[in-house]
Amino acid sequence: MENHTIVTLKKGEGRTIKAGGAWIFHNEIDTITGRFKNGDVVTVHDFDGYPMGKGFINQNSKIRIRMLTRKPEQEIDDVFLRMRVQNAWDYRKTTVDTSSCRVIFGEADFLPGLVIDKYEDVLVVECLALGMEQFKVRIVELLKEILAEDGIQIRGVYERSDANERTKEGLAKVKGFIGEEFDTNVEIVENGVHYMVDVVNGQKTGFFLDQKYNRLAMQRICKGKKVLDCFTHMGTFALNAGIAGASDVTGLDISEYAVQQANENAVRNHLENTVHFRCANVLDELPKLAQAGEKYDVVILDPPAFTKSREATKNAIKGYREINMKGLKLVKDGGYLATCSCSHFMTQELLAKTVREAAKATHKRLRQVEFRTQAPDHPILWAADESYYLKFFIFQVVDEK
């Protein structure tokens, strides 16, 4: 809990939080006065004693302090937590379809290390920071109260704090119910498409909500078209293409479990005659399709993050270049390519450069239709670069003439 420890920064440090970000790294700190244990809320001072706010400290992590508030006099109590949760919910109500959405997005909602997704009447919680552990259950209670005020009754809460980031914080991985047990298969509807979300076994918190409006943007383009959806996961882009009236859709994924879910989702939407899924390693499969002379009106590339760290970015660039070259070869002259990256290390500029190289290598010309990012329920907090991760390009592909 809160104590009177004061953390003083070195002169010239704290640039991130001065710009509006949320993190203080281990090498930015000069002195710590007072007794504390990891996870405690401490007050941060600039080198000259100027109070900069409060955050929780963890000496297990390179991200030494995650800021909770800019107001040094602010008590981190129930009133504070309610305000943060209410603000997060009000923002979603204004900006997105809230039937299923991310309600709390960590640092970008000023609740660092905490993610809460709402799938219809179920909440899925992911806590990635030691200091947030003590507030987690209370925040869930407050969120349920706030949703109830809008007539939304939550029937169950499930925790998916099983990501590797927890080990960096000195935390064990946790997975299980918060409160009563309930049926963890949840049917959601997004852009008119029905999905069954398995919050226990699905990727991350069960479903990728961040591509919601990118999938919607593809509906317009896929009508009447022959479509290839690579790394389809639960079949999301493929099913959006199908519901928009695509003539023939193929979805590929390396995971048998994902393909099984995707096939079930196709049946759920009465699309099993036009949308087909199969298990394949996309990198191997695309050259085989090209060799067989296959061509598509629309190719969608939604690969997993090839890089989780700055060090691995070089190899990732090779991976993105390769996948885009293989994808471009399958697009008909005048057809469309959607390509994206969900790694924040793969910046917009870097992804653009990589796709440009792929187009050059395959003698294709690209006409940009639009550039998009993650849905607004995953707000991008300027100065907190890690909150901006999804980059999504739609191109028309024309042969060089």
3-state SS of the chain is CEEEEEEEECCCCCHHHHCCCCEEEHHHEEEEECCCCCCCEEEEECCCCCEEEEEEECCCCCEEEEEEECCCCCCCCHHHHHHHHHHHHHHHHHHCCCCEEEEEEHHHHCCCCEEEEEECCEEEEEECCHHHHHHHHHHHHHHHHHHHHCCCCCCEEEEEECCCHHHHCCCCCEEEECCCCCCCEEEEEECCEEEEEECCCCCCCCCCHHHHHHHHHHHHHHCCCEEEEECCCCCHHHHHHHHCCCCEEEEEECCHHHHHHHHHHHHHCCCCCCEEEEECCHHHHHHHHHHCCCCEEEEEECCCCCCCCCCCHHHHHHHHHHHHHHHHCCEEEEEEEEEEECCCCCCHHHHHHHHHHHHHHCCEEEEEEEEEECCCCCCCCCCCHHHCCCEEEEEEEEECC
> Residue 307's pLDDT is what?
66
Residues of the chain with CATH 3.30.750.80: 78-187
pLDDT band at 315 (very low <50, low <70, confident <90, very high): confident
pLDDT at 285 over 70: yes
pLDDT band at 401 (very low <50, low <70, confident <90, very high): low
> Residue 314's pLDDT is what?
80
Determine the average pLDDT of the residues in 166-194.
95
pLDDT at 103 over 90: yes
pLDDT at 205 over 90: no
pLDDT band at 1 (very low <50, low <70, confident <90, very high): low
> Residue 343's pLDDT is what?
86
pLDDT band at 308 (very low <50, low <70, confident <90, very high): low
Determine the average pLDDT of the residues in 244-270.
96
pLDDT at 268 over 90: yes
210-398: CATH superfamily: Vaccinia Virus protein VP39 (3.40.50.150)
Q: Greater confidence, 2 or 265?
A: 265
pLDDT at 385 over 90: no
Which of 89-98, 313-322, 326-335 is predicted with the least confidence, judged by mean pLDDT? 313-322
The model's pTM is: 0.94
Q: Greater confidence, 307 or 328?
A: 328
What rounded mean pLDDT belongs to the chain?
94
pLDDT band at 217 (very low <50, low <70, confident <90, very high): very high
pLDDT at 29 over 90: yes
> Residue 316's pLDDT is what?
85
6-69: CATH superfamily: PUA domain (2.30.130.10)
Determine the average pLDDT of the residues in 41-47.
97
pLDDT band at 192 (very low <50, low <70, confident <90, very high): very high
Residues of the chain with CATH 3.40.50.150: 210-398
pLDDT at 202 over 80: no
pLDDT at 2 over 60: no
- Known catalytic residue: 342? yes
Determine the average pLDDT of the residues in 307-331.
87
The CATH class given to the 78-187 domain equals alpha beta
Q: Over the stretch 340-366, which tens digit does the pLDDT of each residue have?
A: 999 888 899 999 999 999 999 999 999
> Residue 121's pLDDT is what?
97
pLDDT at 245 over 70: yes
